[in-house]
Chain A
Amino acid sequence: MNAYVGTPTSRIDGRAKVTGAAKYAGEFAADGLLHGFVVEATIARGRIARLDTSEALKVKGVIDVLTHEHRPPLADKDEAWKDEVAPEKGSPFRPLYDDRIKFNGQPIALVVAEDWETARFAATRVRVEYEQEAFATDLESERGKAAEVDQPHKPRGDAAAALTHAAIRHEADYVLPSEHHNPMELYATTAVWDGNGGLTVYDKTQGVQNVQKFLCSVFGKKPDEIRVISPYVGGAFGSGLRPQHQVVLATLAALALKRSVRVVLTRQQMYGLGFRPLTIERVALGAKPDGTLDAVTHEAIAVTSRFEDFSRNDTGWAEQLYKSPNSRYSHKLVRLDVSTPSDMRAPGAATGVCALECAMDELAVALKLDPVELRLRCYSDRDQSEGLPYTSKQLRECYARGAEAFGWSRRSPAPRSMRDGKELVGWGMATGVWEALQMPVAARIVLTANGHAEVSCAASDIGTGTYTIVAQVAADALGLPIENISVRLADSSLPQAPVEGGSWMAASSAHAVLGAAEEIRRELARYAKAMPASPLAGVDVPDIILLDGAVAKAADRSRSVSIADAMRHGQVERIEKEKLNEFPEDKSHARNTHSAVFAEVKVDEELGVIRVTRVVSAVAAGRILNTKTGRSQIMGSVVWGIGMALHEETVTDHRFGRIMNANIAEYHIPVNADVRDIDVIFVDEPDDRINQLGIKGLGEIGIVGVPAAIANAVYHATGKRIRRFPITLDKLLE
């Protein structure tokens, strides 16, 4: 019954995307559409002393300029501004709320005009005077002000004492810079005014229902007055989890002017949104000479804003990976005059595991042990923080399969011992780990007698392949060809879904579809059994399956009736079922995905130019719903890891508190020429405990471990240990 699940099925939205037919948030038309252009603050902290919009308003075609002094009402309680993924502590940013400037690049006015170019022009005519205040944007100079946050991992044993007495000890700081998501699509919202106070809001978001609830609460609207739609999302990677500035501004303008309004942020303005926070990771490992660990400590110090405490789990990943009797983890925050950081692909793990895995590599060097061997000696079959076994953990197999595919056994252990002409060759590896989460998601299936089904759910597809996997699961569960399945997603009026993030949507949406399909199966089975002279008479409902457009006995498929006949006899034209997914409550096992990443770099010995020539990523993530799109997700994550290792860094001039590479020419992400062979291996990992289909999710695991594997390879090539990312060639020349 698995014609599609587990196969390399092409994306069902592929045709729309390659023909330009797929419409993104800023591409929906509306009668009399107005265009908004954002004016941003140019100081890091202070207040607006004077905001003069008179000149801008004189520009022909300008309709209005919204500011904190000139706007419709906005909610005044923090609770109203807390979306479903807002940090627990703090006061969310409110665009155009008052005269306070909290970060450089903060939106302070919206010029609304009949066309975009006019709005952009008039925006240059908005005059602002500030009262500036002292500010700080530099984590390293403010490091002493770090305050510890609650974090989930309890200390075990006495790590400090164990470290002191350890035979071999490694301790170092690893610095992971701020990074910006830079999805290719600009943040955009088209708010379409319906003429009666209601709005249809096309928004670039990872969660339409999150945005819908947020807008209702911020603007005091009833749920039926605002509908949020986001059929295609041009990448997000976490940046679209929280409602962003432009959706507030477009909605504000539409309500103020009773017109449809589109607001598109510029690439530069997107640097005023969330970001992966700069983090200093201090890792200490104490080991016995045989390579088993005595102690692990990991302390992270990360940036947050003055107004919200954003923190993720950077530390504590060793609890999942490496057996150690003693451990201590802490996470500290430094509040700075910046926008609130946000989740960015594998938040916490991408940075924290990078530090841990670089440290493990350094420990392996100190122990004169092969890096894979060290990890096997420390291998933990349990999540030590709660002492739980895993629903499944095929990490050993990842090491084995990855090493074999890479040719790891041919590695010469000494740094600088492998070369290819003028290039030093380095082979490095690292482990990856992420959580296998699942969230409440509902799906609705409408089956019509012609054998077509429409599956709908509010979940987003941000490029992750949700459309396709939902169709695959539905096609298999309903026994229909995938061409007969249509999928509607990302409309707030559809059955419930949380934001698409944390790698939870595949498992969550698949099981919602499975649940709805199961109800359809039962109903069809009842109809089929009740038919006169039914070939299924006497067959128990659980023994009946849907296959090839028919209702059939599982053990004897010749005993079947067509879906059309069953429905005709049931006197129904359509069967509609909506189901919230159900997962067994099971706190007895830990749920994680794992990977082993092997990287080859070639480094020009004289010039320091680094090329990542090969990466093998062996991933254990339960059952892979779609090996084609799944492979792409891991491959793309590896590219992210290359960027993290070698290229990406948001650079701030702390004298101005201003990001100085707020573009995608000087903020380097990998280009095609930076990426060569990437081999993705999915390790077989049956898991009948985690959920019915054994699915874990792939969105984050692919990046975790990649930057460390590359950094370790650079060390192996050059003998230089660069602990401050990204590893640019100047650091190798120092």
Chain B
Amino acid sequence: MADMTIPERIPINLVVNGERRALEVVPWTTLLDALRDRLELTGTKKGCDHGQCGACTVLIDGRRVNSCLTLAVMKDGAEITTIEGLAGDGALHPLQQAFIDHDAFQCGYCTPGQICSAAGLVAEGRARDADEIRELMSGNLCRCGAYPNIVAAIEQAMSRS
């Protein structure tokens, strides 16, 4: 293919963690790359860039999704919640506190995705026991193997909410 031109940037608006952010993106820019490289919100992690690990999980309009497979241009106008905006004003979200209490991470790299995913799981209201938490959190890989602690942390947060 001879065509080397970079497609035009398209202006979009995102409401990220409650704040309206205007930016111009080439259509190939994923929401993940827009968050990390353009908005400097590096709390959302890139672990595979193919929807295989869940480290990039954010909430779009309250639903958990893989931001690596989401084109930013398609989310014009959407409300995005990342790990940086999960709790307000320096406080910890109950899930964040529970993850610390239960040592539900080691290296910490999958953690923002785990916590955002868990926030989505709690909102969905479909997990009623540990097996259902395990199944519905299986889209978030943790290579440090903190799974039992992650389940315990989510159970703690669910029981207190």
Contacts and interface: CB of A to CB of B under 8 A. Distances in A.
Q: CB–CB under 8 A between A and B in the complex?
A: yes
Interface of A: 10-11, 13-24, 26-27, 29, 55, 58-61, 115-118, 121, 125, 181-186, 232-237, 264, 266-267, 462-465, 628-629, 631-633, 635-640, 663-665, 669-673, 675-678
Given A11-B103, A183-B107, 6 more contacts: A18-B115, A19-B96, A184-B142, A267-B50, A463-B144, A676-B148
A20 B137 contact: no
Contacts of A14: 99-100, 103, 105
Contacts of B53: 184, 664
A636 B138 contact: no
B123 to A, nearest CB: 18
Given A20-B42, A20-B83, A234 B6 contact: no
A16 B139 CA distance: 23
Which residue among A16, A24, A235, A665 has the maximum number of chain B CB atoms within 10 Å of its CB?
Answer: A235
Contacts of A639: 145, 147
What are the 8 tightest A-B residue pairs by CB atom distance, in nearest-first order?
A20-B43, A639-B145, A234-B109, A463-B107, A17-B108, A636-B145, A463-B106, A20-B83
A378 B81 CA distance: 58
B23 interface: no
Contacts of B69: none
A678 B150 CA distance: 13
B44 A10 contact: no
27 contacts: A14-B105, A17-B111, A18-B92, A18-B115, A19-B83, A24-B109, A55-B4, A181-B143, A184-B109, A185-B47, A186-B46, A186-B49, A232-B107, A234-B45, A235-B109, A235-B144, A264-B46, A632-B144, A635-B145, A635-B146, A635-B148, A663-B48, A663-B52, A665-B50, A671-B138, A672-B137, A672-B140
Given A59-B4, A632-B146, A640-B145, A185 B100 contact: no
Nearest to B101: A10
B33 interface: yes
B148 A678 contact: yes
Interface range for B:
35 or more
Interface in B123-161: 131, 133-135, 137-151
A141 B20 CA distance: 61
Nearest to A468: B103
Contacts of A27: 36, 42
Nearest to A57: B4
Interface string B72-109: 00000000001110010000100011011101011111
B29 interface: yes
Interface in B8-67: 26, 28-29, 33, 36-37, 40-50, 52-53, 55
Given A58-B4, A234-B108, A463-B108, A672 B42 contact: no
Contacts of B82: 20
B13 to A, nearest CB: 20
A121 B28 contact: yes
B120 to A, nearest CB: 14
A503 to B, nearest CB: 15
A217 B55 CA distance: 36
A665 B52 CA distance: 5
